[in-house]
């Protein structure tokens, strides 16, 4: 007699749109009991939307969510908890100056009245809290002392507490838990991940697990089956044991034909302007060496934790580095500060436009002149007349709309804001290096094109450009060369003038 | 039109309304208050009422102007009133020996004192309310020390400062006119100079300003130095008005009115926004409260309660309320 | 859009996690808990006490020790409230105003020289209630109007002083209840009652920090307010509770102070804001919140009290007390901030 066990989770033709963008497109996924299912895909493939859907943060626009045989519709994160779904998010949710037991108590499901350990007057029964915490920790096989303050725990242990918290939530419903682990190893060093991988194996006995990570090897090691997402669709489903990695890379990036060279590639390049030797920052990037020539756009690609963001900021002096040197136009530096970088004709465009790029409240012309004075207006006094004329010229050159220098920059569209934020660096007499951190992020296609155009013009004028790209297509479409980083080191270098790599090749270096 | 454009237009309209209110509400309030006083006590305007109002407003105005610069950067200077008292003691004590140099020296000292505090706050990345709270204690203690806790009388060379109160321009004391001049000067600085733009930029978005290469340390030293100089000037004005200086005098009681005047003038405690010229109106409003109350026979003991309430309400009204901001 | 707002918060926390994650890889040794911020003030207290013993023969006498305890009692009471507020990441500037309002309420309801009231214990309770109301008021303004705590409590400080001024009227109300007048200094148990009250308050504060959600939630809110909200802590409610508690203690201090002075005056709390803030900060509780505790503030209070006591014994003017308190605040705040300095850190 066969026992039919229903799937713990089934997504049937689930679609989720944000405005006009389809984040998830007819996704079909199933997770059986006591199975570990891995999810892989590039940035923007839809992984995080899918997880948010399962966590109850989003609702699908169409399609069915079937949990243990029953159709469900989740309206809030607490619905997910009630259905036996526990999530360990990418970002830490533990309060670091409280003990493990308190954090587990805070994270446990149930109203304050139902939870034991703290009575209605708010008095703590530590013996009870510790006991409950121990139970939750033993459940997942951990021997952490519940009286430890979270701050004193290693990051591996903190993740174990997060997992215990999620299991606690999921088991409160009485069913076997479905655990969702979103990049649980992202904050760990590569050598610490072993412990977590063993933990996932243990969790399999308790229930099912969905595991997301940017490290392909890791995902293959811990999962039974994996799904490959691309552009919001499930493009492949494989058994981990039978899989061939090259196939996965192809699936992740699609069977697109080789890209044709972009215009930038043909250009003659000048001498080396930015030269980096052995740059290291413990915990972020290690022994990074590369160089960029005048007029060259070098695109950096990498997944979570690749270290490229920190590298970019270190070169600008916004963040420190521990060892190594780099030189701008031959002048070496063992350390860097922002103002020194700017004096050396280096520019930096931050990835967070609203919080780090533009100064909302100041006008367009004030934002434009924030870094460098305009056309000879060097003094402390900025006479409005001359400046206005100069501003109008710049605004017209960059096609900023509306073309009003005195309008508050917050009133512009994202693309125009980005032009202004980027534009302020062009006021420098001669820009040598421009470090652009995800410059096209969050822009609509038309804006992307104009900003890309500005970047190309800067390169044509002789600037060396370090471009942190959002997507591989962006890298191929804008760069003369591509550097791939993974977990803090450079794994691949490609010179597009010699040979254009396939997308799958690039992905291989990232995961 | 996409939803984002519509949202932006909505926000633009709302911003216009808020800016309009911020610019004109203080003046409207002042006019209303003057009307109320006029109705209750018509003779107020006949005599030297306005002149007295303007003269009394000077110390508050000066403190408020200094506070305005600090608030636009996003900080607060809790020590300025005490620095004013300290400056008053110094100027009163040194007039005899230094003559006309005394007020100049005091202004310089005020700027330096403020600058040091500003440097400590910005270079060491400590909250401005904390460090200026400490400074408040230091200035007050120094004032007591230098005056031996007694009143300092101005005997000789008082002309070096009394010209502020003796002369009048269009019926208003010269001190008020000069203070208004300071307000206009600060307005010009904020609008037309690079440092003024740095001040506003730092207040709006310090991180982006830093990443653009602006020295926020220099900017903060500047505003705190201005605040210190304004406080010193306020002390000089106080001494000129009263002919004496005491460590336990009016000074410390001017802390909240100074802040209240700035906020009533539309300065946002969240930073970036503030018009020194409107702060003149704010100072007049705050000064009108005790003067108007006595003209209308309202119990003066209620003043402090009124100041406290005004500060709370005005700050709440003028704050920038973007989502995601954590308020400590 | 709430989604994007959530994204930004999420991204920021991920960034924060990512950044600090890699600064501490191995499990930190238990030895790191024994460090300067914890032991420094205590060592300083011991060293200074020993120094004064040699410098001034009248320092190490029983009567001077009693005097030190007396001088420390009101600051201890205030420091317990201030510690909880500061741990939560806020500040309470209103203590002097609340002390004045409570003190005057207490005097005017006790047997006094200005009116015919004689409510005895009822007067004490009324004074405490006034403190509670002011504290709750501060908390409500801060949370509902969403203005920074220093602003809210700055306003309440003046409102408190104003209320006290109105209550004061025109003549000084003198406390005439003989029992209450001497109660603070009476020593039925060998130690002055005022000191016993302070000890009781300290014990309550320590218990609150260890065993109640008031203390634990305050710690959580001080560490990361957004994260506390995400963990379902009702942040606004607990902020109001903490400010109410601080207000209650300001009331206790105001009543004690009034008993000592014998009159109801608006200046009853004069100088206490500095002293208390300096004591908490020098004791090792961080102004940014989340780190520190009542026992550290006890050390801080005694450190400053001993310094003042030594100064008085050697004939120095009381003005120096305030000067020292001010310098202490500035120095301690700068030193505490040193550990957390980084290039893009924004502190207003």
Tell whether A300 and A157 lie within a shared domain. Answer: no
Of the listed ranges B261-265, B306-310, C262-266, C338-342, the one predicted with least confidence: C338-342
Q: Average pLDDT for residues C26-45, to the nearest whole number?
A: 62
pLDDT at B314 over 90: no
Cβ burial B60-73 (10 Å sphere, 16+ → b, else e):
bbbbbbbbbbbbbb
Q: Read off the pLDDT band of C23 (50, 70, 90).
A: very low
How many angstroms separate the CA atoms of A160 and A138, rounded? 11
Nearest to A306 by CA among A42, A95, A7, A73: A42
Contacts of B131 in chain C (CB under 8 A): 329-330, 333-334
- The pLDDT-based confidence of B154 (bands split at 50, 70, 90) is confident
pLDDT tens per residue across span A43-62: 878 888 999 888 888 888 99
Per-range mean pLDDT, top range of A137-146, A237-246, C84-93: C84-93
Residue of A nearest to C28 (CA): A152
How much is the pLDDT for C2? 36
Residues A115, A189 share a domain: yes
Mean pLDDT on C244-250? 98
Mean pLDDT in residue range A110-135:
80
Judging contacts by C-beta atoms under 8 Å, the chain B residues touching residue A381 are: 192-194
Residues A238 and A296 in one domain: no
Average per-residue pLDDT in chain A? 88
pLDDT of residue A4: 57
CATH 2.60.120 fits C36-338, yes or no: no
* Same-domain pairing of A216 and A274: no
Summarize pLDDT for B185-206 with one digit per residue, the tens.
999 999 988 899 999 999 999 9
Q: Which residues contact A471 (CB under 8 A, 6 or more apart)?
A: A42, A43, A44
Q: Is A362 inside a domain boundary?
A: yes
Comparing CA positions, the residue from A10, A62, A46 lying closest to residue A233 is: A46
Cα-Cα-Cα-Cα dihedral of C270, C273, C275, C278, to 10°? -160
B-chain residue closest to C320, CA distance? B141
Whole-number pLDDT of residue B327: 64
Q: A502 lies in a domain?
A: yes
Q: Helix, strand, coil % (nearest 5) of chain C?
A: 75, 0, 25
Asked if A339 reaches chain B (Cβ–Cβ under 8 Å), the answer is yes
What is the rounded distance in angstroms from the CA atom of residue B145 to the CA atom of residue B85? 12
A77 in the same domain as A40: yes
Decide if pLDDT at A219 tops 50: yes
pLDDT digits (tens, 9 = 90+) for C152-204: 999 999 999 999 999 998 888 888 877 777 777 777 777 788 899 999 999 99
pLDDT at A96 (0 to 100): 94
Number of domains in chain A: 2
Instruction: Look at residue C210 and tell me whether its pLDDT is greater than 90.
Output: yes
User: Do residues A215 and A159 both lie within one domain?
Assistant: yes
Name the residue in chain B with its Cα closest to that of A369.
B194
- Domain spans of chain C? 36-338
Q: Which pLDDT does position B47 carry in this prediction?
A: 66
Same domain, A336 and A424: yes
Report pLDDT for A215. Answer: 85
| Stretch 258-317 of chain C: residues touching chain B, C-beta under 8 Å | 273-274, 277-278, 281, 287-289, 317
- For the record, the structure tokens of B71 come out as 């608030």
The pLDDT value recorded for residue A110 is 62
Q: Is residue A265 part of a domain?
A: no
* pLDDT, mean of residues B30-43: 84
Exposed e or buried b for every residue in C138-163, given b needs 16+ CB within 10 A? bbbbbbebebbbbbbbbbbbbbbbbb
Q: Poorest-confidence range of A460-464, B20-24, B257-261?
A: B20-24
C181 has a chain B CB within 8 A of its CB = no
CA pair distance C261, C242, nearest whole angstrom: 29
Q: Which of A156-160, B97-101, B128-132 has the lowest mean pLDDT?
A: B97-101
Task: Give pLDDT, residue C337.
Answer: 79
Q: Quick one: pLDDT band at residue A360, thresholds 50, 70, 90? A: very high
- On whether both A350 and A283 belong to a single domain, the answer is yes
Average model confidence (pLDDT) for chain B?
87
Of C94, C99, C176, nearest in space to C140 by CA: C94
Share of chain A above pLDDT 90, in %: 47
Task: Kindly report, residue by residue over C298-314, the tens digit of the pLDDT.
Answer: 999 999 999 889 888 88
Find out whether C88 and C242 touch, Cβ atoms under 8 Å. Answer: yes
Q: B touches which chains (3+ CB pairs under 8 A)?
A: A, C
Closest among B238, B257, B258 to B91, alpha carbons compared: B238
Does the structure show a pLDDT above 70 at C297?
A: yes
- Of the pLDDT bands very low, low, confident and very high (cuts 50, 70, 90), residue A161 is very high
For residues A274 and A198, membership in a common domain is answered with: no
Q: Among B74, B304, B309, whose Cβ lies nearest the Cβ of C348? A: B74
A468-498 tens-digit pLDDT: 999 888 999 899 999 999 989 999 999 988 8
Q: What is the DSSP string of B157-195?
A: STHHHHHHHH-EETTEEHHHHHHHHHHHHHHHHHHHBHH
User: The domain that contains A158 carries what CATH number?
Assistant: 3.40.50.300
277-316 in chain C: CB under 8 A from chain A: 290-291
pLDDT, position C118: 84
Residue A165 sits in the same domain as residue A31: yes
Whether B204 sits inside 8 A of A350 (CB atoms) is no
pLDDT value of residue A223:
93
Q: Are residues A117 and A190 in the same domain?
A: yes
Same domain, A200 and A284: no
Q: Residue C19 above 50 pLDDT?
A: no
In a domain, A184, yes or no: yes
A7 inside 8 A of chain C by CB: no
Let me know if residue A263 belongs to a domain: no
Which percentage of chain A shows pLDDT scores above 70?
94
In this predicted structure, the answer to whether residue A256 has a pLDDT above a threshold of 70 is no
In this predicted structure, what is the pLDDT of residue C16?
42
What pLDDT does A169 receive?
A: 85
Summarised one tens digit per residue, pLDDT across range A277-322 is 999 998 899 999 999 999 999 999 998 889 999 999 999 999 999 9
* Architecture field, domain B49-318: Orthogonal Bundle (1.10)
pTM of the model: 0.89
- Please count the residue pairs, one from chain A and one from chain C, whose beta carbons lie less than 8 angstroms apart: 94
- Domain ranges, residue A424: 270-510
C219: chain A residues, CB-CB within 8 Å? 97-98
């Amino acid at each position: 007699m066969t026992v039919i066990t229903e799937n713990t989770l089934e997504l049937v033709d689930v679609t989720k749109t944000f405005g006009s963008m389809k984040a998830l497109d007819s996704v079909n996924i199933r997770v059986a009991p006591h199975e570990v299912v891995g999810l892989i895909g590039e940035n923007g493939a839809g992984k995080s939307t899918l997880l948010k859907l399962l966590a109850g943060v989003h609702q699908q626009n169409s399609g069915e969510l079937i949990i243990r045989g029953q159709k469900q519709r989740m309206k809030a994160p607490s619905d997910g908890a009630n259905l036996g779904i526990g999530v360990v998010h990418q970002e830490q949710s533990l309060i670091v100056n409280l003990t493990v037991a308190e954090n587990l108590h805070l994270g446990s499901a149930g109203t304050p009245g139902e939870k034991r350990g703290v009575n209605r007057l708010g008095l703590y029964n530590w013996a009870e809290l510790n006991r409950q915490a121990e139970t939750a920790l033993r459940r997942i096989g951990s021997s952490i002392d519940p009286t430890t303050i979270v701050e004193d725990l290693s990051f591996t242990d903190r993740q174990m507490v997060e997992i215990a918290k999620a299991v606690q939530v999921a088991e409160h419903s009485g069913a076997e838990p479905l655990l969702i682990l979103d990049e649980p190893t992202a904050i760990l060093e590569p050598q610490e991940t072993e412990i977590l991988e063993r933990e996932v194996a243990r969790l399999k006995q308790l229930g099912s697990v969905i595991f997301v990570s940017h490290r392909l090897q890791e995902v293959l090691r811990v999962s039974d089956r994996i799904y490959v997402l691309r552009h919001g669709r499930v493009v492949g489903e494989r058994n981990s044991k039978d899989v061939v990695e090259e196939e996965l890379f192809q699936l992740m990036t699609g069977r697109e034909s080789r890209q044709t060279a972009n215009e930038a590639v043909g250009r003659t390049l000048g001498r080396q302007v930015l030269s980096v030797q052995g740059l290291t920052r413990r915990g972020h990037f290690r022994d990074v060496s590369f160089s960029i020539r005048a007029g060259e756009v070098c695109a950096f690609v990498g997944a979570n934790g690749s270290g490229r963001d920190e590298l970019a900021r270190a070169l600008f002096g916004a963040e420190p580095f521990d060892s190594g040197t780099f030189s701008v136009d031959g002048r070496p530096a063992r350390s860097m500060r922002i103002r020194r970088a700017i004096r050396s004709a280096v520019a930096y465009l931050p990835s967070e436009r609203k919080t780090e790029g533009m100064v909302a409240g100041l006008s367009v012309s004030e934002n434009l002149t924030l870094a460098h004075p305009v056309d000879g207006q060097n003094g402390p006094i900025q006479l409005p007349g001359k400046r206005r004329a100069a501003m109008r010229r710049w605004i017209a050159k960059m096609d900023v709309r509306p073309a009003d220098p005195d309008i508050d920059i917050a009133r512009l569209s994202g693309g125009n804001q980005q032009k202004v934020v980027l534009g302020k660096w062009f006021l420098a007499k001669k820009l040598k290096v421009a470090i652009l951190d995800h410059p096209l992020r969050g822009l609509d296609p038309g804006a992307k094109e104009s900003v890309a155009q500005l970047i190309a013009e800067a390169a044509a004028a002789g600037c060396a450009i370090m471009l942190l790209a959002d997507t591989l297509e962006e890298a191929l479409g804008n760069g003369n060369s591509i550097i791939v980083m993974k977990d803090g080191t450079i794994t691949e270098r490609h010179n597009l003038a010699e040979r254009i790599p396939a997308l799958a090749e690039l992905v291989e270096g990232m995961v | 039109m996409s939803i984002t454009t519509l949202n932006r237009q909505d926000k633009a309209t709302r911003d216009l309304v808020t800016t309009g209110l911020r610019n004109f509400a203080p003046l409207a309030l002042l006019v209303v208050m003057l009307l109320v006083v006029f109705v209750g006590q018509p003779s107020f305007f006949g005599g030297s009422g306005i002149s007295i109002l303007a003269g009394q407003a000077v110390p508050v105005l000066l403190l408020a102007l200094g506070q305005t610069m600090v608030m636009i950067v996003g900080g607060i200077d809790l020590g300025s009133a005490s620095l004013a008292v300290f400056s008053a003691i110094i100027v009163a004590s040194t007039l005899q020996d230094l003559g006309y140099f005394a007020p100049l020296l005091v202004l310089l000292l005020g700027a330096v004192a403020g600058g040091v505090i500003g440097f400590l706050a910005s270079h060491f990345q400590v909250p401005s309310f904390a460090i200026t709270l400490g400074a408040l204690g230091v200035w007050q203690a120094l004032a007591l020390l230098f005056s031996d806790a007694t009143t300092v009388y101005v005997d000789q060379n008082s002309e070096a400062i009394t010209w502020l109160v003796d002369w009048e321009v269009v019926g208003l004391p010269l001190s008020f006119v000069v203070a208004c001049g300071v307000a206009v000067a600060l307005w010009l600085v904020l609008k037309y100079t690079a440092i003024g733009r740095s001040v506003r930029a730092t207040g709006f978005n310090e991180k982006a300003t830093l990443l653009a290469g602006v020295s926020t340390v220099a900017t903060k030293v500047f505003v705190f130095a201005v605040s210190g100089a304004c406080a010193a000037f306020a002390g000089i004005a106080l001494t000129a008005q009263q002919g004496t200086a005491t460590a336990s005098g009016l000074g410390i009681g001017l802390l909240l009115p100074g802040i209240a005047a700035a906020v009533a003038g539309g300065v946002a405690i969240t930073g970036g926004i503030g018009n020194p010229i409107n702060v003149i109106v704010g100072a007049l409003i705050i000064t009108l409260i005790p003067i108007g109350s006595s003209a209308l026979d309202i119990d003066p003991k209620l003043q402090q309660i009124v100041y406290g309430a005004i500060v709370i309400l005005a700050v709440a009204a003028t704050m920038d309320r973007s989502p995601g901001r954590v308020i400590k | 859009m709430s989604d994007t707002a959530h994204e930004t918060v999420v991204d920021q926390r991920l960034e924060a996690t990512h950044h600090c994650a890699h600064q501490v890889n191995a499990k930190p040794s238990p030895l790191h808990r024994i460090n300067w911020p914890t032991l420094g003030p205590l060592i300083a207290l011991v060293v200074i006490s020993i120094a004064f013993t040699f410098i001034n023969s009248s320092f190490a006498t029983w009567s001077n020790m009693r005097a030190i305890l007396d001088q420390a009692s009101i600051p201890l009471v205030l420091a317990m409230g201030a510690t909880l507020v500061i741990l939560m990441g806020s500040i309470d500037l209103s203590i002097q105003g609340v002390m004045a309002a409570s003190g005057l309420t207490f005097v005017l309801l006790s047997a006094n020289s200005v009116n015919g009231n004689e409510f005895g214990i009822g007067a004490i309770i009324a004074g405490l209630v006034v403190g509670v109301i002011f504290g709750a008021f501060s908390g409500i303004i801060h949370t509902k109007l969403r203005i920074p705590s220093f602003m809210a409590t700055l306003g309440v400080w003046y409102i408190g002083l104003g209320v006290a001024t109105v209550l004061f009227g025109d003549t000084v109300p003198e406390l005439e209840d003989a029992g209450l007048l001497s109660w603070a200094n009476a020593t039925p148990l060998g130690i002055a009652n005022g000191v016993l009250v302070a000890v009781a308050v300290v014990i309550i504060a320590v218990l609150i920090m260890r065993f109640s959600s008031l203390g634990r939630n305050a710690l959580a809110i001080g560490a990361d307010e957004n994260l506390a909200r995400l963990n379902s802590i009702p942040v606004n409610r607990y902020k109001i509770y903490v400010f109410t508690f601080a207000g209650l203690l300001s009331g206790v201090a105001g009543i004690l102070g009034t008993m000592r002075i014998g009159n109801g005056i608006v200046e009853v709390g004069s100088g206490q804001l500095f002293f208390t803030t300096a004591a908490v900060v020098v004791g090792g509780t961080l102004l940014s919140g989340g780190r520190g505790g009542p026992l550290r503030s006890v050390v801080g209070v005694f450190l400053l009290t001993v310094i003042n006591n030594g100064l008085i014994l050697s004939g120095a003017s009381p003005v120096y007390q305030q000067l020292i308190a001010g310098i202490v605040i500035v120095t301690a705040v700068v030193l505490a901030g040193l550990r957390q300095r980084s290039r893009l850190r924004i502190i207003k």
